[in-house]
Chains A and B, each alone.
Chain A
Amino acid sequence: MNPQTRSHRVDADALQARFALRVASRLSEQAESLPHDLSERLRVAREHALDRARQLRLSQPVVAAALVTQGSSMALGQPPSGWLRLASLLPLMVLVLGLFFIQYLHDQAEIHAAAEVDAALLADDLPPEAYGDPGFVIFLKQPEQ
């Protein structure tokens, strides 16, 4: 871009900005002459927003103070919400479910062991009634020769 073109471009930009700012200034004049009821509604809306901000600011120091005065007891300064309560119950529920699961596994292992013994007894050549015979028990207790 040669200096002449650049200079022309800068001039055009400056003129554009001047024109635009002039239009914007007329728009500001127009905006300042809004009907009274609209101005009032805007004022009320603004005050409402500022009230909300004020309330929010006031509530923050209360929470901070509650935290300080409660020391290490982790108080939030507000009653816990439903979700927080539910979340605090979650570890307890996990523990109870875990215990039930361990009990179930234990029962299954016992049933499996008993089934294995039964199967071994039934599959053996020796009839199961033989184990009820006192003579056979004495025979079993004798050391092998």
Chain B
Amino acid sequence: MATDKELSDFLKSAEKRAFKRTVYAVRDEDAALDIVQDSMIRLAEKYADRPVAELPLIFARILSNATLDWFRRQKVRQATLQNFSDLDSGGEDGDFDPLETLEAVDGNWSAQGPVERLSRQQTLALIDAEVSALPPRQREAFLLRYWEELDTAETALVMGCSEGSVKTHCFRAVHALAKALSAKGLKP
């Protein structure tokens, strides 16, 4: 059973990521704050007696459900489904290797001059924008898998799909991000 402090520490560590994930989904900061608050309350009320190790997965599920509820309430389900259909229009070209963008990346962030700081902030903002521009399911899979650090099975559980689908979404998301960032001359 999670103590008050453990629950507090967990929420503190997760709240900003949860907020950003929700903003990506709903595109509205106020709505995202409401959703995150509702999710935190639901977690604290219903699942505070669960072991602290289970909290990340439970919170991810609560947040996903709360976001979906928000969409239902907003009656934009049609728009969401439209976005989901983007998954099928992958258009992958076999010759492009997005992973080339990984080369010679490290070391760029150690410089802390004003120009470098500004450049860094702009880069972060661009990465943020590219993640935001991913199709919803790809983005959700990518963020749950690599940002929330859930494993493939847990991500599949939260998303309500198979592990194979999670892997496909993640692959496409990574591919799309690498391609987009590479096109802008960025290396994360």
Which residues of chain A have a CB within 8 Å of any CB of chain B?
Answer: 12, 15-24, 26-34, 38-39, 41-43, 45-46, 48-50, 52-54, 56-57
Take A23-B188, A27-B20, A56-B45 as given contacts and tell me if A42 and B99 are in contact as well, using a CB distance cutoff of 8 Å.
Answer: no
Take A26-B124, A26-B127, A30-B124 as given contacts and tell me if A18 and B102 are in contact as well, using a CB distance cutoff of 8 Å.
Answer: yes
Within residues 14 to 53 of chain B, which ones have a CB less than 8 A from any CB in chain A? Answer: 15-17, 19-20, 29, 33, 36-37, 40-41, 43-45, 48
Nearest-neighbor residue (CB-CB) of B33 within chain A = A41
Within residues 31 to 78 of chain B, which ones have a CB less than 8 A from any CB in chain A? Answer: 33, 36-37, 40-41, 43-45, 48
Out of A24, A41, A53, name the residue touching B146 (CB < 8 Å).
A24
Out of B17, B48, B174, name the residue touching A28 (CB < 8 Å).
B17
Nearest-neighbor residue (CB-CB) of B167 within chain A = A13
CA gap between A20 and B99 in the complex, in Å:
10
Residues of A within 8 A of B99 (CB): 12, 15-16, 19
Out of A20, A29, A41, name the residue touching B124 (CB < 8 Å).
A29
* Interface residue tally for chain B (C-beta within 8 Å): 44
Out of B8, B131, B170, name the residue touching A27 (CB < 8 Å).
B131
0/1 interface trace, chain B 89-102, chain A, CB 8 Å (1 if under): 00000000011011
Nearest-neighbor residue (CB-CB) of A27 within chain B = B147
Residues of A within 8 A of B178 (CB): 19
CA gap between A142 and B8 in the complex, in Å:
104
Residues of B within 8 A of A45 (CB): 15, 33, 36-37, 40
Least distance between B73 CB and chain A CB atoms (Å):
19
Contact in complex: B170, A53 (CB < 8 Å): no
Nearest-neighbor residue (CB-CB) of A19 within chain B = B102
Within residues 106 to 137 of chain B, which ones have a CB less than 8 A from any CB in chain A? Answer: 121, 123-125, 127-128, 131
CA gap between A104 and B88 in the complex, in Å:
71
Nearest-neighbor residue (CB-CB) of B49 within chain A = A57
Residues of A within 8 A of B43 (CB): 49
Least distance between B120 CB and chain A CB atoms (Å):
8
Residues of A within 8 A of B123 (CB): 26
Least distance between A104 CB and chain B CB atoms (Å):
50
Contact in complex: A15, B45 (CB < 8 Å): no
Residues of A within 8 A of B127 (CB): 23, 26-27, 30
Contact in complex: A20, B146 (CB < 8 Å): yes
Q: Known pairs A21-B146, A22-B105, A26-B124. 13 more at Cβ < 8 A? A: A17-B146, A20-B146, A20-B174, A27-B127, A31-B20, A34-B20, A42-B16, A45-B36, A46-B15, A46-B40, A48-B40, A49-B44, A53-B4
Residues of B within 8 A of A26 (CB): 123-124, 127, 188
Least distance between A16 CB and chain B CB atoms (Å):
5
Contact in complex: B174, A52 (CB < 8 Å): no
What are 10 sample pairs from A and B whose C-beta atoms fall under 8 A apart?
A: A19-B99, A20-B142, A26-B188, A31-B20, A32-B16, A34-B16, A49-B40, A49-B43, A50-B11, A56-B45
